[in-house]
Chain A
Amino acid sequence: MSSSKDIISPKLIKDIGSLHPINHMKDSIMSLLVSLGFEIVEGPEIETEEFNFDMLNIRKSHPARQMHDTFYVEKKSNLLRTHTSPVQIRGMLEKKPPLAFISGGKVYRKDDDATHLPMFHQVEGIYVDKNVNFAQLKDLIYKIIYSLFGDDVELRFRPSYFPFTEPSAEVDILSKEGKWLEILGCGLVNPIVLENCNIDSDEYSGLAFGLGIERIAMLKHGVTDIREFYKSNLDFLSQFK
């Protein structure tokens, strides 16, 4: 029989908690962008129509401004931001170029089903300097996507439309199953938006991009129902350590 000195108690496995997978994904993407030179800026979730829409060249007639897409609060005096772009407007009004901002956080749209939630998360970035062009935007997007999904992932750029960028693009990656999956939207900042922020669009140009965090987290973790993220089920949360 061994002497008591030889005894090693069983390893004490203390339960360590976990970051929420959406916050973890948001933090990871923001760290990556900070390493590329972006500075983090923050803004309020309750916004004005001016910052959420007007300054971003989203006309009064744009579908997103209809009551069915946007949550308005306090007798329509304010709204819950529908994207994180107004944060960049605030940033551009405060600082002169060259500037490179990212903002991340909660955004709200009036949707509620298996693929859409009334609250979700975005990370958006903007870079304004002299001679920023579409070929550089492509380079940046490749760097972001390679970093997230590996250097061997196949991606494609598709022409798209956002009122605040021109030209605009959506970027897809090819899944292992051979399906193209939309990952992010991007483009060159519409000169109208630069002018709205008192930036001379003849001298400066900019690029911008935005990612939906839930979508990327679903792909990376293999979660198929977006609602799982917000049930606060410990069996779910404990898988993301």
Chain B
Amino acid sequence: MKIAYAHLVQHILENPSIEQVSNSLFQLGHEHEIEGDIFDMEFTPNRGDCLSINGLLRDLAVFYTINLNQEIYNEKLNELSIDFENLSKNICPQISFLKLEVDQIPKRYNGSLDSYFLDLGLNKNNFFTDISNYLSYESGQPTHCYDSNKINGKLVFQEIEKVEEFETLFDKKITLTKKNAIFSLHNEVINLAGVVGGKSTSCSANTRTVIVECAFFQPEAIIGKSVKYDIQSEASHKFERGVDPECHDRVLRRFIKIVSDHVNIKDMSIVSFKYKDSPLYKIPVDTNKINQIIGINLSDNEYLSYLSKLSFVIHEGFISIPSFRSDIKTQNDLAEEIARVIGYDNITRAEISIPKSEKLNYKAVENKLRYFLLDHGFYEVINSPFVNLASEEAIKVDNPLDSNREYLRTNITNSLVDNLLYNEKRQKDSIKLFEISDIYTSINGIHKKRRLSIIASGKVGLDYENFSKKINKKYLSSLFHEALPKEVFDFQVLSRDSLDTKIKNEIISLEVDVDMFSNDILSYKEISKSPKNFNQYSPISDLPSSFKDISYSIKDYSKTQDLQDLLLNYQSDIIKNVYIFDYFQNEKSQEIKIGFRFVFQSKKTTLTSAQIELIYNNIVSDSLKIDGISIPGI
């Protein structure tokens, strides 16, 4: 909600700067951005009472002297005779109507009404609707204006539960479904209560006689309607959060005053229907309890003085909660009021000491398994559970994001296959992944299983001992056998037939319940450690990568280290990775063969062969400067 600094500060005697007001609002919990001289406020949903100038001023009164100086019409008013029936009094326990007839429409606005449109850069509509919008901004109470000439029958309020067509005053046609609180005339919906009025009875530039409706609607009857029908509605935002049920007389008298500041009023009358008193909450004064909740030491006088400034009335040991503060019901609510006023940051910390619980061996087997897999080059992944493949036992989402995510997955392996293909497309030739997750199924009730799934394909590793070995069932079986000699695992070879790939490497997978692992794994001694630092991430490139291998022959063995030092640390923007993929010491020919693989990738462009060639030639010439080494063929 946008609120102009000028509209607040004109009521504050101390005349604080915009920064001072901003700091006060933050301390009170009213988050905002400042755009020029406008506060763009974001209120918490419990503070519907602050959605107006007056609401914010009521809160700011704890820091400043407030003078509202908003005049109202104070004379006695005639009683309006209106043909109205309320068939849902539980939803609308209070409602008032004001009928006004004016002799003309003003050409321009003055006072607060004028500055409202000017300072906030708002578009005008028609005289009465403009006043209604301004009053909602000033007081927080939305009102609705009907063109009186169009109300030619009995006005009925009720909550209906049937399909109805309705055209809003913004020309939007909607179909009302399920429960809706509405006003109707001759059985036709003319107003979606608390959300938006209808076109058929709305005011126009020519309207001279208006009926202003001012109501309290239960938030539960309004909530969700503006979203459901895709209607931007300031009114529903307020009704959903709760408005002041006791403000009708003042708001309508203020309406009259603003009209009379612009034009002559020929006739006016008012009527109020109150079917049920709004609840009055009283909470005992208990300063000790407040001090105990916050952890401070406030005196009675300080406590009560803060509450008085926030419009709470203290009488005979009880605190009466103002009608606009529907969020205050308990001592904890009052404690929050006091904590806000003191400032959360001004409350001194008090040492906390939680009694130590028995040390639990939390998920010991699962965590050991994770480190075992890490040691063998597996990467942990996390996948979304939403899938489009429905198996019989899959749980269906009633309101999915889209038709491709209608079910919860019943296995992890399919997600890992997708992950594998994703990485293969990025030229990864050694892929080992695992995921541990709860899997839910539904057959005669919802069942949960904690599952481990692993998938592996391609080279066993990129080091020179494993570079030429391919992952297969035997490799994985021996890996698991080493750590869990007593357990047997059913590794599967997954077919690539239905997969969108030309790669032929075998895909080996395993999916098992975590429960099936015995405590034997606990004796496994892991090499991997949880990282101590949180590495700074370097953005990755999605551009294609390519590689070049260089194989050296070294006669002077002492130069092996020099070559490694040079090549493994070779600096270039386009070298992504360098590793030794081949190493062989030929005793007979007194020669070392060593192969380096350079992986090239740019973060900016797809590399051309010329760009790669340039760096490659530099590497070759730099390395050949080392005595005693050669590149066979060069």
A and B part of one assembly: yes
Known contacts being A10-B583, A16-B527, A157-B344, is A74 close to B396, with CB within 8 Å? Answer: yes
Q: In the complex the two chains form, is A229's CB within 8 Å of B382's CB?
A: yes
Give the distance in Å from the alpha carbon of A62 to the alpha carbon of B535 in the complex.
Answer: 40
- A20-58 near B? 1/0 per residue, CB < 8 Å: 101111011000001011111000111000000000000
B392 interface residue (CB < 8 Å to A): no
Q: Is A179 an interface residue (CB 8 A)?
A: no
- Tell me, rounded to whole Å, the shortest Cβ–Cβ distance linking B232 to chain A: 16
CA distance A90 to B49 in the complex (A): 34
Cβ of A17 within 8 Å of any chain B Cβ, yes or no, is: yes
B259 contacts chain A at the CB level, 8 A cutoff:
no
Q: A232 vs B414: C-alpha distance in the bound complex, in angstroms?
A: 13
Whether a CB of chain B sits under 8 angstroms from the CB of A169 is yes
Chain B residues in 8 Å Cβ range of A27: 530
The residue from B26, B339, B401 contacting A167, defined by CB atoms under 8 A apart: B339
Stretch touching chain A among B108-116, B243-251, B356-364: B356-364
Contact (Cβ within 8 A) A232 B422: yes
B360 touches A61 (CB 8 A): no
Q: How many residues in A have their beta carbons less than 8 Å from beta carbons of B? A: 102
B29 contacts A20, CB within 8 Å? Answer: no
Given contacts A44-B448, A232-B433, contact A23 B382 (CB under 8 A): yes
Alpha-carbon gap, A160 to B42, bound state (A): 11
Instruction: Name which of B375, B380, B583 has the most chain A CB atoms within 10 A of its CB.
Output: B380
Contact A24 B292 (CB under 8 A): no
Is B462's CB under 8 angstroms from A15's CB? Answer: yes
Name the CB-closest residue of A to B585.
Answer: A7
Residue of B nearest to A163 (CB): B46
Residue in contact with B446 in the complex, picked from A7, A23, A78, CB distance below 8 Å: A78
Which of A6, A10, A28 lies in contact with B594, CB distance below 8 A?
A10
Q: Is B306 an interface residue (CB 8 A)?
A: no
Given the interface pairs A71-B399, A167-B336, the reply to whether A221 lies near B583 with Cβ below 8 Å is no
User: B223 near A61 (CB under 8 angstroms)?
Assistant: yes
Are B540 and A20 in contact, CB atoms less than 8 angstroms apart?
no
Distance of B283 from chain A, by nearest CB (Å): 13
Shortest beta-carbon distance from B315 to chain A in Å: 24
Bound state CA distance, A88 and B349, in angstroms?
Answer: 25
Which residues 355-396 in B have Cβ within 8 Å of A in the complex? 355-358, 360, 362, 370, 373-386, 395-396
Residues in chain A near residue B223, CB distance under 8 A: 61, 63, 66
Contacts of B395 in A (CB 8 A): 46, 73-74
Q: Give the 9 A-B residue pairs with the shortest CB-CB distance, closest first.
A: A159-B29, A135-B295, A37-B354, A167-B336, A161-B44, A133-B295, A157-B344, A135-B350, A232-B419
Question: What is A's interface to B at a CB cutoff of 8 Å?
Answer: 1-2, 4, 6-10, 12-20, 22-25, 27-28, 34, 36-40, 44-46, 59-63, 66-68, 71-76, 78, 80, 98, 100, 110, 112, 117-119, 127, 129, 131, 133-140, 142-143, 156-161, 166-169, 188, 190-192, 205, 217, 220-223, 228-241
